[in-house]
Amino acid sequence: MTGTLNRERDQIHFFAYLVGSGIHLASWRHPTAVPEASIDFAHQLKLVKAAEAAKLDAVFLGDSLAIDETSNPGILNRFDPLGLVTALGALTSHIGLIATSSTSYDEPYNFARAALTADHISKGRVGWNIVTTRDVTNSTGANFGASEHLDHGLRYRRAEEFVEVVQGLWNSWTHDAFDYDKVSGRFFDPAKLHSLNHRGEFFQVAGPLNIAPSPQHSPLLAQAGASVPGQKLGARFANAVFASHHTVAEAIEFRNSVRAQATDFARNPDEIFIYQAISPVVADTHQAAQARIAELDALITADQVLGFLQKYFGGAIDFSTFSELTTVTEAGIVGLSTPRTDFRAASEQIRGREDHVTLKELYSVLTGDKRNNDFIGTAEEVADSLERWHAAGAADGFTLMFALLPNDLETFTATVIPLLQARGLARTDYRGTTLRSHLGLKDH
């Protein structure tokens, strides 16, 4: 396995994040956009097929369990991620399909069964993005009979136990448990069936699960979390860890931290792949790429920006006196104390530029835009930056969060990927058929 992993690490890995008409909040207003993209299965399939043709590792589908009038249009009206990857798995052949599901508001048995079903249908290409769910709208708990959202520390304790239970259920059967012996009448070997009988702080689950292992045994585990418990969860369980850092130095520090923590759990750190989130914009010239961003930014309304920030900061600042072009410093946001981990991550992304970053730009960052000047420009410039980050050890791969879909996905795969392939930094074909095989990991 070590040789396979080393071979895979010589190349840059890619996930394509798919949300509606793109991660940019105003992408749906673009003349080429499909506003109903999030509930247009043909459109979703087209995106996945494009990613598969480019030999990307996987597509990645996020989720949210509560919405309000300030939510990203791409999540206001969309498919359930696990249901979508189940359907996509039947119509694709190689690309991985990663769905988000919450450990705070799901149940281990139901999720384990549904996810393994999707993994079987895709013949071993499904991944699970483990989230504890951040409460962007302050109403998530109310959708599940709770008066408030679970405390951060409690969510992560529950998450660790949740994953333990799910993995235990996925190990209910050995791969050769089912004989299907018509002559003897033995359907399965009872010695190869394992009950779970779990009793913990949050869950009591007897098991076993009523579905056998998939071709890759069970879905690959992915996770994102910059906090201390978030890093611990990823280091303990995940093979793909999502990160978001603005500089090479910060990215290296995070990657080294996760890899070091993995050894504490007796894991091989080379079995963990760090995917840095970026929103690449590629055009014929650097100036044209900047113009593309300006074109989309012009479609964001002031009411969107100020209304979102007013609710986001819970009334700590009166945004009604500002415009969308007010800077973060002028609005008094710098140094504002908040427990929100996504705000801390956003602060890291804009650090040192607060006097120039506008409220409109902050809004984009908080709602998912991973804009970084390293990945804005010509195909050659973007390919050079990807190579530099990878060679420095800042990332094993990248999560591509395109501003406008399918435009940016098609441009990236048609221009940047061939350059990387010519340099030996991107695969020209899949070496296996499971998601684990795309990372050089054993099916187990």
**Which tens digits make up the pLDDT trace of 201-229?**
999 999 999 999 999 999 999 998 788 99
Domain that holds residue 414: 2-287+371-438
Q: Are 250 and 312 found together in one domain?
A: no
Has residue 242 got a pLDDT over 50? yes
Q: Are 96 and 177 found together in one domain?
A: yes
- Residue-level pLDDT at 425: 97
Any domain includes 444:
no
Closest CA to 18 of 421, 120, 394, 40: 40
Among 349, 366, 383, give the residue marking a domain's end: 366
Which comes out higher in pLDDT, residue 25 or 69? Answer: 25
As a whole-number percent, the residues of the chain with pLDDT over 70 amount to 93
Q: Domains in the chain: how many in total?
A: 2
Has residue 150 got a pLDDT over 50? yes
Average pLDDT score over residue span 110-132: 97
pLDDT band, very low/low/confident/very high, at 197 (cuts 50, 70, 90): very high
Any domain includes 10:
yes
Q: Are 152 and 279 found together in one domain?
A: yes
Q: Are 37 and 124 found together in one domain?
A: yes
The CATH number of the domain where 175 resides is what? 3.20.20.30
Among 344, 366, 388, give the residue marking a domain's end: 366
Average pLDDT score over residue span 5-20: 84
Any domain includes 243:
yes
Any domain includes 443:
no
Residue 9, judged by CB atoms within 10 A of its CB (0-12, 13-18, 19+), counts as middle
**Residues 160, 184: contact at Cβ < 8 Å?**
no
Any domain includes 33:
yes
Q: What does the block give as tokens for 37?
A: 């993209």
**Residues 88, 115: contact at Cβ < 8 Å?**
no
DSSP string, 258-306: HHHHHHHTT--GGG-EEEEEE--EE-SSHHHHHHHHHHHHTTS-HHHHH
3-state helix, strand, coil in the chain (%, to 5): 45, 15, 45
36-50, 163-177, 294-308, 394-408: segment of lowest average pLDDT: 294-308
Q: What does the block give as tokens for 7?
A: 């071979």
Average pLDDT score over residue span 60-80: 83
- Per-chain mean pLDDT for the chain: 91
- Position 363, amino acid: Y
Which comes out higher in pLDDT, residue 424 or 361? Answer: 424
Average pLDDT score over residue span 373-394: 97
Distance CA 103, CA 100 (A): 10
pLDDT band, very low/low/confident/very high, at 9 (cuts 50, 70, 90): confident
Average pLDDT score over residue span 173-199: 96
Q: Are 267 and 383 found together in one domain?
A: yes
Q: Are 53 and 73 found together in one domain?
A: yes
Q: Are 343 and 406 found together in one domain?
A: no
Q: What does the block give as tokens for 146?
A: 């709770």
- Supply the DSSP symbol for 442: P
Q: Are 127 and 268 found together in one domain?
A: yes
Q: Are 164 and 151 found together in one domain?
A: yes
Strand partners, 197: none
- Residue-level pLDDT at 315: 76
Q: Tens digits of per-residue pLDDT, 292-346?
A: 999 998 999 999 899 888 888 877 889 999 999 999 899 988 776 665 666 777 7
Which comes out higher in pLDDT, residue 400 or 368? Answer: 400
- Residue-level pLDDT at 196: 97
As a whole-number percent, the residues of the chain with pLDDT over 90 amount to 72
- Supply the DSSP symbol for 135: -
Q: Are 278 and 328 found together in one domain?
A: no
CA 120 to chain centre: 21
- Residue-level pLDDT at 339: 54
Non-local CB neighbours of 106 within 8 Å, separated by 6+ positions = 162
**Residues 39, 22: contact at Cβ < 8 Å?**
no
89-103, 139-153, 179-193: segment of lowest average pLDDT: 139-153
Compute the chain's Rg from CA coordinates.
22
Which comes out higher in pLDDT, residue 127 or 9? Answer: 127
Q: What does the block give as tokens for 308?
A: 């979102």
Among 329, 345, 366, give the residue marking a domain's end: 366
Long-range contacts (CB closer than 8 Å, 24 or more residues apart) made by 195-200? 196/165, 196/168, 196/169, 196/172, 198/164, 198/165, 198/168, 200/161, 200/164, 200/165
- Residue-level pLDDT at 3: 45
Distance CA 134, CA 346 (A): 14
Q: Are 294 and 267 found together in one domain?
A: no
Residue 340, judged by CB atoms within 10 A of its CB (0-12, 13-18, 19+), counts as middle
Has residue 2 got a pLDDT over 60? no
**Residues 47, 405: contact at Cβ < 8 Å?**
yes
- Residue-level pLDDT at 6: 57
Strands (E), 175-259: 178-181, 186-188, 198-199, 204-205, 220-224, 240-243
Average pLDDT score over residue span 120-134: 93
Has residue 243 got a pLDDT over 60? yes
Distance CA 13, CA 323 (A): 40
Q: Are 276 and 321 found together in one domain?
A: no
108-112, 137-141, 390-394: segment of lowest average pLDDT: 137-141
